[in-house]
């Protein structure tokens, strides 16, 4: 049996995280946003994303994957900036994902 490679983009499985995104994933209402600057705080990122979404659709859930233990320990002094460089956006309707993708591409 091959061991799963655990990298920054592929942390160990976290059941709580999987449960959090399951409904969005199952219904294809999930969009991954990557290349988030390491110095960006979660609050600043969420504000910027909401400002770029021009379409008028329901609430957007910004879902942050849990950081691997090594990253969490390294940034314990500033947990608001502790992220892995990507997040997921959850939407109430599937077609909102496509609209958001177009808005964020601009």
Name the residue with higher pLDDT: 94 or 78: 94
Q: Tell whether the model's pLDDT for residue 13 goes beyond 60.
A: yes
pLDDT level of residue 31 (50, 70, 90 thresholds): very high
Quote the pLDDT of residue 25. 92
**Average of pLDDT values for 24-34?**
91
Task: Fill in the DSSP letter of residue 5.
Answer: P
Q: Tell whether the model's pLDDT for residue 89 goes beyond 60.
A: yes
Quote the pLDDT of residue 1. 46
pLDDT level of residue 105 (50, 70, 90 thresholds): confident
Planar angle of CA 49, 14, 74, nearest 5 degrees: 70
Q: Give residue 38's domain range.
A: 16-68+79-104
> What's the CATH code of the domain at 91?
3.30.70.330
Average pLDDT, rounded, for the chain: 79
Does residue 74 form part of some domain?
no
Does residue 57 form part of some domain?
yes
Does residue 11 form part of some domain?
no
- Using a pLDDT cut of 70, give the percent of the chain over it: 71
Measured from the Cβ of residue 63, the count of other Cβ atoms closer than 10 Å reads 16
Closest CA to 21 of 30, 12, 13: 30
Does residue 3 form part of some domain?
no
Distance between start and end Cα atoms, the chain: 44
Does residue 73 form part of some domain?
no
d(CA 53, CA 26): 23
Does residue 5 form part of some domain?
no
Number of domains in the chain: 1
Count of CA atoms in the C-beta half-sphere (13 A) of 103: 18
pLDDT tens for residues 61-77? 899 888 777 665 555 55
The β-bridge partners of 30 are 90
């Amino acid at each position: 049996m091959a061991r799963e490679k655990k990298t920054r983009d592929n942390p160990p499985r976290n059941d709580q995280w999987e449960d959090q995104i399951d409904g969005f994933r199952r219904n294809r209402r999930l969009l991954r946003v990557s290349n988030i600057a390491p110095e960006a705080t979660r609050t600043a990122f969420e504000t910027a994303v909401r400002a770029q979404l021009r379409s008028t659709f329901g609430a957007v859930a910004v879902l942050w994957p849990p950081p691997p233990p090594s990253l969490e320990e390294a940034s314990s002094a500033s947990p608001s900036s502790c992220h892995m460089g990507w997040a997921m956006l959850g939407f109430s309707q599937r077609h909102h994902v496509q609209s958001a993708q177009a808005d964020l591409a601009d």
